[in-house]
């Protein structure tokens, strides 16, 4: 078994392995994979020492939760931390011929209904336990309450009102009763964190895009506010949905869309500096967020065991301090961006 260092998540009593596992790919994100491959991938993560696993009802419309549960319920419950999400309720589709799987190449035949009310959150929580086959999860997150999924300020305001007037009571009850150990929110865009902090008493955020080697605007307002409130952060999408893993290739993705020219060029320049220090771009992208003191973990996904092994190698790869210094000198990294110590983050 591997030995990955742990970090406390904000003001909670939960400790996360700094390298952990994000569950979207095991919902058949863009690519359908077999049950055998999914279980082998989870086993590979366990074998290298990963002990924090994040999933959601949205991932494959329940498929990711089923797969995580199949594996994790065979492991000692006290040895791992598990998070899932609320805000969507799944209902069996009544129109298979026209069912839209969306992002999920092999998603299950369930329609998604957004519901941030007390009843909706409690149903989502109980349904997740059933899919997982477990009697508890450690952490619950409010999922995707932003423009990326709701489009307009009016819809976001309506759902925020539903959350604050009804749904928050469910999360507070679950936390205060000890059924869960922390409440968080998953965010994709700038401006979302301050709104949450003004309205509800969160313990942490999973930040899916705005803090990577390519983007550090959260350092202006969002992260200082988190630090002030004792709120922890987990970083998803460390590879910016693709380009920081593949490099500036012809079909590179950024924010789940083709990378614009300025992002492609910035990535090319960052990769050129990494090459001079014999550091893979993926290693720099994976380790960079862990330099910030409020970041407890990164949660890259994986589709196969080889991805897990590669992530572990990138996590352990030695990165000289001079690399971060040069990135800042060239204007490719913010001067105030904290960077990891000059040794491997799990040492």
- pLDDT value at residue 152: 86
Q: Which of 18, 28, 52, 59 is catalytic?
A: 59
Angle between helices 118-132 and 168-176 (to 10 degrees): 50
pLDDT in tens, 19-42: 999 999 999 998 999 999 999 999
| Angstrom distance (rounded) from CA 130 to CA 69 | 9
- Mean pLDDT of all residues in 43-51: 98
Which band of pLDDT confidence, cut at 50, 70 and 90, is reported for residue 342? very low
| Angstrom distance (rounded) from CA 334 to CA 129 | 42
pLDDT in tens, 83-117: 999 999 999 999 999 898 888 999 999 999 999 99
Q: Is 153 a catalytic residue?
A: no
Give whole-number Cα distances, 131 to 30, 123, 124, in Å.
22, 12, 10
- pLDDT value at residue 2: 72
- pLDDT value at residue 346: 45
| Angstrom distance (rounded) from CA 175 to CA 165 | 17
Count other Cβ atoms within 10 Å, centred on residue 342: 12
Give 187's strand partners.
Answer: 207
CA 41 to chain centre: 17
Residue 218, pLDDT above cutoff 50: yes
E-strand ranges in the chain read: 6-8, 15-17, 21-22, 52-54, 81-86, 88-92, 110-114, 139-143, 182-187, 204-207, 232-235, 253-254, 257-258, 295-298
Is the domain 6-241+282-317 a CATH 1.20.120.330 member? no
SS3 77: helix
Q: DSSP readout, 150-195?
A: H-SHHHHHHHHHHIIIIIHHHHHHHHHTTS-SEEEEEE-STTHHHH
Enumerate helices (H) and strands (E) in the chain, giving the number of each. 13, 14
pLDDT in tens, 115-142: 999 999 999 999 999 999 999 999 999 9
Q: Is 100 a catalytic residue?
A: no
- pLDDT value at residue 148: 72
Which band of pLDDT confidence, cut at 50, 70 and 90, is reported for residue 264? very high
- pLDDT value at residue 210: 86
37 phi, psi to nearest 5 deg: -65, -40
Burial of residue 278 (CB within 10 Å: 0-12, 13-18, 19+) is exposed
Angle between helices 35-48 and 63-72 (to 10 degrees): 50
Contact (CB, 8 A) for 117 and 169: no
Kindly state the tokens that stand for 146. 């932003």
Q: In b/e form, how buried is each residue of 5-39, taking b as 16+ CB within 10 angstroms?
A: ebbebbebebbbbbbbbbbbbbbbbeeebeeeebe
Residue 345, pLDDT above cutoff 80: no
- Mean pLDDT of all residues in 274-295: 98
pLDDT in tens, 167-199: 999 999 999 999 999 999 999 888 899 999 999
Angle CA 45–58–10, to nearest 5: 60
Q: What is the DSSP letter of 288?
A: G
Residue 150, pLDDT above cutoff 90: no
139-148, 174-183, 261-270: lowest mean pLDDT where?
Answer: 139-148
Give 254's strand partners.
Answer: 257
Q: Which of 28, 54, 138, 144 is catalytic?
A: 54
Kindly state the tokens that stand for 20. 């952990």
On whether the pTM is more than 0.85, the answer is yes
Q: Which of 6, 85, 181, 266 is catalytic?
A: 85
Q: Is 61 a catalytic residue?
A: no
| Angstrom distance (rounded) from CA 251 to CA 243 | 9
Contact (CB, 8 A) for 1 and 17: no
């Amino acid at each position: 078994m591997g030995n990955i260092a742990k970090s406390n998540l904000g003001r909670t009593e939960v400790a996360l392995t700094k390298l952990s596992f994000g569950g979207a790919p095991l919902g058949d994100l863009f690519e359908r994979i077999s049950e055998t491959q999914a279980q082998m991938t989870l086993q590979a993560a366990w074998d290298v020492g990963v002990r924090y696993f994040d999933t959601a009802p949205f991932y494959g419309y329940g498929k990711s939760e089923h797969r995580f549960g199949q594996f994790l319920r065979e492991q000692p419950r006290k040895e791992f931390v598990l998070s899932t999400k609320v805000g969507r309720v799944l209902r069996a589709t009544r129109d298979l011929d026209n069912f839209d799987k969306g992002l999920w190449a092999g998603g299950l035949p369930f329609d998604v209904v957004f519901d941030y009310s007390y009843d909706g959150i409690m149903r989502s929580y109980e349904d997740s336990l059933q899919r997982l086959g477990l009697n508890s999860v450690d952490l619950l997150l409010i999922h995707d309450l932003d423009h990326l999924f709701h489009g307009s300020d009016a819809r976001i305001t309506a759902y925020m009102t539903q959350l604050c007037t009804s749904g928050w009571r469910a999360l507070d009850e679950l936390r205060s009763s000890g059924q869960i150990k922390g409440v968080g929110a998953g965010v994709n865009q700038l401006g979302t964190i301050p709104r949450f902090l003004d309205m509800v008493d969160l313990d942490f955020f999973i930040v899916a895009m705005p803090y990577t080697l390519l983007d550090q605007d959260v350092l202006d307002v969002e992260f200082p506010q988190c630090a002030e409130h004792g709120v922890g952060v987990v970083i998803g999408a460390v590879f910016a949905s693709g380009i920081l893993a593949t490099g500036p290739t012809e079909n590179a993705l950024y924010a789940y869309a083709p990378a614009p020219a300025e992002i492609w060029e910035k990535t090319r320049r960052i990769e050129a500096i990494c090459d001079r220090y014999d550091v893979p771009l993926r290693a720099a992208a994976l380790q960079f967020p862990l330099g910030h003191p409020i970041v407890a973990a990164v949660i890259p996904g994986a589709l196969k065991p080889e991805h897990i092994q590669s992530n572990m190698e990138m996590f352990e790869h030695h990165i000289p301090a001079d690399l971060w210094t040069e990135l800042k000198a060239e204007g490719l990294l913010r001067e105030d961006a904290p960077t990891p110590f000059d040794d491997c983050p799990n040492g």
